[in-house]
Amino acid sequence: MKAPAFDYARPETLEEVHALLAEHGDDARILAGGQSLMPTLALRLSGPALLVDVNRIPGLGAIEARGDGLQIGALARHAAVLASPLVAARAPVLTRALPHVGHVAIRSRGTFGGSIALADPAAEIPACALALEAEVVLEGADGSRVVPAADFFLGLYETAREPDEVVTAVRLPSQAGRRFGFAELARRHGDFALAGIAASARLDHDDRVTELRLVCFGCADRAVLADSAAARALGRRLDAATIAEVAAGLGADVEPIPSPEADAETRLHWARVLTARVLGALPTTPEVDA
Amino acid sequence: MSGPQSAGPIGRGLPRRETERLVRGRGRYGDDIVLPRMLHAAFVRSPHAHARIEHIEATAAAASTGVVRVLTGADIAAVCKPWVSKAENRATHRSGVQHAMPADRVVWQGEPVAVVLARSRAEAEDAAELVEVEWGPLPVVAEAAQALAADAPVIHPELGDNLAFEHHQVQGDVDAAFAAADRVIERRLRFGRQTAMTLEPRVVVADYDPAAEHLTVWHSHQSPYQMQDVFSRLLGIPEHRVRVVTPDVGGAFGAKINVYPDEMSAVAASVLLGRPVKFCADRLESFVSDIHSRDHEVVARIALDADGDVLAIDVDDLVSLGAFTPYMRFSISEALMVAMWTAAPYRMGAYRARGRVAYVNKPPVGMFRGVGMPVACAAGELLIDDAARALGEDPAAYRRRLYIADDAYPTRTASGMAVERMTLVRCLDALLEVSDYARLRAEQARLRERGVYRGIGLATVIEPSAFGPAYYGPTGARISVQDGSTVKLEPSGVVRCVTSVTDQGQGTLTGLAQIVASQLGVEPEAVEVVAGDSAVTPYGGGAWASRGMAIGGQATLDAAAALRANVLALAAGVLQTRAEALDLGDGQVRDAATGEARIALAEVARLAYFRQDLLPPGVQPELAVTRHFVPKGSLYYLSNGIQLCHLELDPETGAVRLLGHWAAEDCGRIVNRLLVDEQVRGGIAQGLAAAFWEHCRYDAEGQLLNASLADYLVPTACDLPDIAVTHVETPLADTTLGAKGVGEAGTIGAIGAAWTAVNDALAALGAVATEQPFTPASLLRALRER
Amino acid sequence: MSTDEARRRIRLEVNGETIEQEVAVRRHLADFLRLDLGLTGTHLGCEHGVCGACTVLVDGEPVRGCLMLAVQADGARVETVEGVTERGALADLQRAFVARNAAQCGFCSAGMLLTAASLLERTEAPDRDLIRAHLSGNLCRCTGYQSIVDAVEATWAARRAERAP
Ligand SMILES: Cc1cc2nc3c(=O)[nH]c(=O)nc-3n(C[C@H](O)[C@H](O)[C@H](O)COP(=O)(O)OP(=O)(O)OC[C@H]3O[C@@H](n4cnc5c(N)ncnc54)[C@H](O)[C@@H]3O)c2cc1C
Ligand code: FES
Ligand code: FES
């Protein structure tokens, strides 16, 4: 299981990356943490002519405050995000979700931007990005742009990223006043989810829902914002009846696809069960401080 | 022959000696071996489960960088004979001819058809991608039921149909019993395919020297002797010029006792090229080329009378074997074990079993920990559990009531199998005590009121181990059921034991050192054990069927006892006394009566080797003694035990969390408790793995759908529970050592215990699981179908 | 090795020694250690990132040796089981592995030891669930993990006791 032969470049600036991507087009692949790309090479599922290793580009790994929000550099390792007190304070759903991402050694190398760029439908980070109302910062040869997460994930491993663009960072707005929930069902610890739910909500003084972002992952071809289901909760308390209605409504937003593990029906069922559990816990979950 | 001299080193929980090296990175596994001019093999494997090989175009591959040769089936056939795996004593066993690489037709996805030999594995793989094979796809049979249908495509046309083996086991009038029954329960059970997934894949490094006409093979294998014989016969090299060395082996579990076509091809390539060749299976090819296990469909029925006694059990077992009965052990025992041992712990009126094994277009099911016994165990235990539930009896109490009593031996099982001795009731008592069964049941009832569904499952385990000459001899297979050891006193008073037993992590060699030490009155540290080299050690079986300690341990005990007698005789000559007046202890020859040290063992050795001039005239020192041992009376040594699995079911998701697992085990004399317990734990882990996670999933076209370690789910440290092991120790009467097998009991019982536990949790919801593995999806299905 | 295959010169520290040599860019770090440097204590159980047998320390962090190219380790500090053993850094854990029979075939052991290393620095009381989660990326086929968890727990506790005032 040796990777096929390829060439390797280790640019130290984004300009060099863009030049290489422009020159080699589809034959080039960006190499970040390698925790998803390297297995596909070993399995000879892909055979790029050139790997463009972005790991030595300075500054791309920073995790920093940005106003009341956060900016997480694309090269921030899963381990660094998991250990960051800033993340724990301002985006606690990531701190909850990251222990589910692979294992210790995977998290030493795997990157935040790599997971966003890969857009695995069962991955935790894209789902959290949706719940956090994140924006993806892309830099191409012609300049940079910022794409809301909700417009970024388009399908199975498919994103709004243009081939010449690099994901450089993910920006999170202030989460003040939001509460987060997260749950996933996986066959084993550290596996990609069979089904998962990430949620953020704001409740008023009367515990009524003023905002709910409900994200279902591991179910459809990508992580999906279940907006119409979530809307059923607006203005209501998260009591059993409301929760049941939201869970029942999931089918309108999420088009589950069958997996070798389970048929579409079962995956949606799991998403519903997890939705109920996550929503049920929200009222007793602390809010993010301003 | 005397028994173990003293409690001494026997029974001590000494750490395994190899571990010191292995945890310091000093292991030497097959893939670590590098020879001058060594070539690396990469195979081209069939993407089809059944197809004609129309043409193989290897020109581009042969011209690829680093490539030395590309060989196909015809090339290999020039030096390697095909083989037929046939049990001569089983009239109903029929087997096709197997080639190292077929020239005209493949019969499973993953069967090798060409091999590239190149300077590096990477280059060999590059070239393998360039080999173009023109395939003529043929109809596929992937399931036994389909394979046995009248119009099924036949995998081995010379056999006429796909029935590989059929066996009937009948005692008493089963039909009458069922007709008279007060209650009949029937279950259809599916057992999934598992694979051994040794962490170290299969490796062979072959070095054929054409000048010396000598073949040396470093082989990640359980039996260097078997492979010496196989290489010699199939490659036509005189046996004394074939040397097979087993270096450190990274897990075997039965998978590495089989003969593999790719390994044969790699060794044949070395013969053809006159250069060293390494083949190290990568993980992807392991999944489609290692042996698999089980893949049974069982229909089992139980007939009960009004009192809840068992009138009869009727079992119909169907095995989807794969494309061949693997060399050299046929795998017909997959079905034989089920037919012979289902519900064997229990008293009943009549018994009937039919076992059928069918050829299908999948990799062969071969030897893997437990061979058929996990199926026998689970099928029987599920019937007993169902009966207990129907009768409203506690499953532990019901078992006790039906068990063959501890004082009823020797006896026969309802299926007619001879049983020298079992301790079913004592093991049950021990288990219920360590697991605090009563408390678990009370807690289960309490939690159920709160909507928490816990399951407690029991499985009684029988482990026929150390199969003797009566089992393999009549098959005609060249399988040695004996083992041998040479024990040698070195001049400085330390000891070497050179043994045919092999060790892939079990710790058997440490146990042998303890046995030798006990006989010679030295510390186990003063005994070095040498194993795994067919040119050097006595001939034997190696490691399989949990025989190492039972058989090899006895051979070693006999050899060490004989050496002891020689040492004492020599010392008696020197000391001018009688041997009977002397004893050995703490490295000294001692006065047997007073314990007083008379002469150091090292001094006896020095005299024997260097100062023969001082010995009494006519004395010939013999300080190296070889003994072999083969079980005489019985077909097998029978260990028994029982397991309890404790779990929690999430009825909304179907997810199961394992809370704990207990085992009570009677494997006869325990030479090393530490190592025995870890054998039990490791075996249970593999059984639980099959029960909940591991499954080679095939589609109707014979394609393996999850052939990667990302998709074939091996449980992690988070998934498995702590396992408590307790023992009942009833030494075997047949040998002076008294040890029986223990390597497979864990796996044999774990699937059944897990299954009865899952059913125990499901029963509260009115559901039952009928197929393993139990996945969240399959348990939800069971709940929907209730 | 083929002539048309891309190669690079790399310089890195392996077990305290500075190594400077050419390597094929497609060669992963574990193969570089095993084939180029003869450090066969690092094992390959799957080569696609799942089993953890190839785990080595890169700049002190446990990393899958099969999921990192050797060229990517240019400038890094790499440590394998051989280096850790010679330094004596895990001698206590290795002793615990022996005493508890936490290795059977030993194929997973190097990866287990190196992954467990960071746990032993923790100051809180040992926690079996945490140990299990921490080791979840390292498959062991022989033991069922309990003995490994026991060995790590015992070593963690002993180190903690030693540090205590
Ligand atoms: C055993 C195992 C278990 C795992 N379990 C999980 C899990 O449970 N959940 C989970 O989410 N992940 C899991 N992963 C994957 C892991 O999280 C990866 O790290 C992650 O998905 C990809 O990040 P990376 O930095 O490794 O990307 P790489 O593997 O380097 O790249 C992945 C893809 O993204 C592209 N890419 C990477 N970075 C950029 C960028 N900055 N801009 C543009 N394109 C880029 C690459 O070209 C490539 O196509 C697991 C991996 C393994 C080996
Ligand atoms: S060999 Fe690297 S994870 Fe298995
Ligand atoms: S000891 Fe064999 S894999 Fe862990």
Of B122, B714, B717, the CB nearest to C135: B717
**Over A189-240, what HEC string results?**
CCCCCCEEEEEEEEECCCCEEEEEEEEEECCCCCCEECHHHHHCCECCECCH
The pLDDT of residue B72 is above 70: yes
Are the C-beta atoms of A35 and A109 separated by less than 8 Å?
Answer: yes
Helices C146-163 and C91-99, axial angle in degrees (round to 10): 140
- Per-residue pLDDT tens for B428-472? 999 999 999 999 999 999 999 999 999 999 999 999 998 888 888
The pLDDT of residue B191 is above 70: yes
Are the C-beta atoms of C62 and C118 separated by less than 8 Å?
Answer: yes
User: Which residue on chain B is closest to A269 by alpha carbon?
Assistant: B653
- Evaluated on CA atoms B635, B2, B532, B745, the torsion sign reads positive
- Nearest residue to B250 (alpha-carbon basis) of B43, B18, B41, B480: B18
Residue contacts between A and B (CB atoms, under 8 Å): 56
Q: Rounded distance, CA A128 to CA A130, Å?
A: 5
Are the C-beta atoms of B542 and B219 separated by less than 8 Å?
Answer: no
- Per-residue pLDDT tens for A57-102? 999 999 999 999 999 999 999 999 999 999 999 999 999 999 999 9
Given this model, what pLDDT does residue B635 score?
85
The pLDDT of residue B3 is above 60: no
- Per-residue pLDDT tens for C109-138? 999 999 999 899 999 999 999 999 999 999
Q: Measured between alpha carbons, how far is residue B2 from residues B424, B564, B624, B631, B737 in Å?
A: 29, 11, 18, 17, 9
The pLDDT of residue B723 is above 50: yes
The binding-site residues of ligand 3, defined as CB within 6 angstroms of any ligand atom, are B 199, 251, 505; C 103-108, 140-143
Q: How many CA atoms lie within 13 A of B773 on its CB side?
A: 26
Instruction: Give distance in angstroms: CA of A35 to centre of ligand 1.
Output: 5
Give pTM, 2 decimals: 0.98
**Type of residue found at A52:** V
Q: Do B720 and C139 touch (CB under 8 A)?
A: no
Q: Rounded distance, CA B769 to CA C4, Å?
A: 57
Given this model, what pLDDT does residue B726 score?
98
Q: Measured between alpha carbons, how far is residue C78 from residues A152, C50, C57 in Å?
A: 37, 20, 6
- Per-residue pLDDT tens for B553-591? 999 999 999 999 999 999 999 999 999 999 999 999 999
Is the CB of residue A106 less than 8 Å away from at least one CB of chain C? Answer: yes
Q: Rounded distance, CA B618 to CA A276, Å?
A: 91
Architecture of domain C88-163: Orthogonal Bundle (1.10)
User: Which ligand places an atom closest to the C-alpha of A28?
Assistant: 1
Q: Do A260 and B780 touch (CB under 8 A)?
A: no
Are the C-beta atoms of B494 and B462 separated by less than 8 Å?
Answer: no
Provide the token pair at A261.
Answer: 């593990």
CB contact residues (below 8 A), chain B span 5-44, against chain C: 15-16, 18-29, 31-32
Q: Do B66 and C1 touch (CB under 8 A)?
A: yes
Is the CB of residue C1 less than 8 Å away from at least one CB of chain A? Answer: no
Q: Which residues of C92-104 are buried (b: 16+ CB within 10 A; e: fewer)?
A: bbbbbbbbbbbbb
Given this model, what pLDDT does residue B467 score?
87
Given this model, what pLDDT does residue B511 score?
96
Q: Rounded distance, CA B553 to CA B739, Å?
A: 8
Q: Do B717 and C140 touch (CB under 8 A)?
A: yes
Contact C47 CB / ligand 2 (< 6 Å): yes
Given this model, what pLDDT does residue B544 score?
84
Share of chain A above pLDDT 70, in %: 100
**Candidates C42, C46, C109: which one to mutate for ligand 2, based on the most atoms within 8 Å of Cβ?**
C46
Of B653, B693, B713, the CB nearest to A185: B653
The pLDDT of residue B119 is above 70: yes
Given this model, what pLDDT does residue B633 score?
74
Given this model, what pLDDT does residue C1 score?
40
Is the CB of residue A43 less than 8 Å away from at least one CB of chain C? Answer: yes
Residues of chain C positioned with their CB less than 8 A from the CB of B221: none
Q: What is the separation of C-alpha C70 from the centre of its chain, rounded to a whole number of angstroms?
A: 16
Q: Do B706 and A260 touch (CB under 8 A)?
A: yes
**What average pLDDT does range B688-693 have in this prediction?**
98
Fold classified for C7-80: Ubiquitin-like (UB roll) (3.10.20)
The H-or-E segment that residue B564 falls in is: helix B553-575
Q: Do C47 and A7 touch (CB under 8 A)?
A: no
**Whole-number CA gyration radius for chain A:** 19
pLDDT band (50, 70, 90) for residue B5: very low
**What average pLDDT does range B517-521 have in this prediction?**
97
Domains of chain C, by residue range, sit at 7-80, 88-163
Q: Which residues pair with C18 in a beta bridge?
A: C13
Q: Do A34 and C6 touch (CB under 8 A)?
A: no
Please count the other Cβ atoms lying within 10 Å of the Cβ belonging to residue A80. Answer: 20
pLDDT band (50, 70, 90) for residue B7: low
Q: Rounded distance, CA B216 to CA B536, Å?
A: 13
User: Cα distance from C155 to chain B (closest Cα, Å)?
Assistant: 15
Are the C-beta atoms of B645 and B457 separated by less than 8 Å?
Answer: yes
Instruction: Give distance in angstroms: CA of A99 to centre of ligand 1.
Output: 15
* ipTM tops 0.85: yes
Mutate to test the interface with C, among A24, A27, A44, A108 (most CBs of C within 10 A): A108
Provide the token pair at B259.
Answer: 């003969």
CB contact residues (below 8 A), chain B span 671-700, against chain C: 674-675, 678, 681-682, 684-686
Given this model, what pLDDT does residue B1 score?
35
Q: Which residue has the higher pLDDT, B631 or B114?
A: B114
Are the C-beta atoms of B684 and B661 separated by less than 8 Å?
Answer: yes
Q: Do C4 and B678 touch (CB under 8 A)?
A: no
Q: Do A189 and B697 touch (CB under 8 A)?
A: no
Please count the other Cβ atoms lying within 10 Å of the Cβ belonging to residue B306. Answer: 9
Residues of chain B positioned with their CB less than 8 A from the CB of C136: 716-718
Residues of chain B positioned with their CB less than 8 A from the CB of C104: 16, 251, 504-507, 678, 682
DSSP string, B212-238: TTEEEEEE--S-HHHHHHHHHHHHT--
CB contact residues (below 8 A), chain A span 14-73, against chain B: 39, 43-44
- Per-residue pLDDT tens for B523-540? 999 999 999 999 999 999
- Per-residue pLDDT tens for C53-108? 999 999 999 999 999 999 999 999 999 999 999 999 999 999 999 999 999 999 99
User: Cα distance from A271 to chain B (closest Cα, Å)?
Assistant: 9
User: Which residue on chain C is closest to A189 by alpha carbon?
Assistant: C136
Instruction: Give distance in angstroms: CA of B679 to centre of ligand 3.
Output: 12
- Per-residue pLDDT tens for B237-282? 999 999 999 999 999 999 999 999 999 999 999 999 999 999 999 9
| CB-based burial label for B289 (10 Å; 0-12, 13-18, 19+) | buried
Please count the other Cβ atoms lying within 10 Å of the Cβ belonging to residue B397. Answer: 12
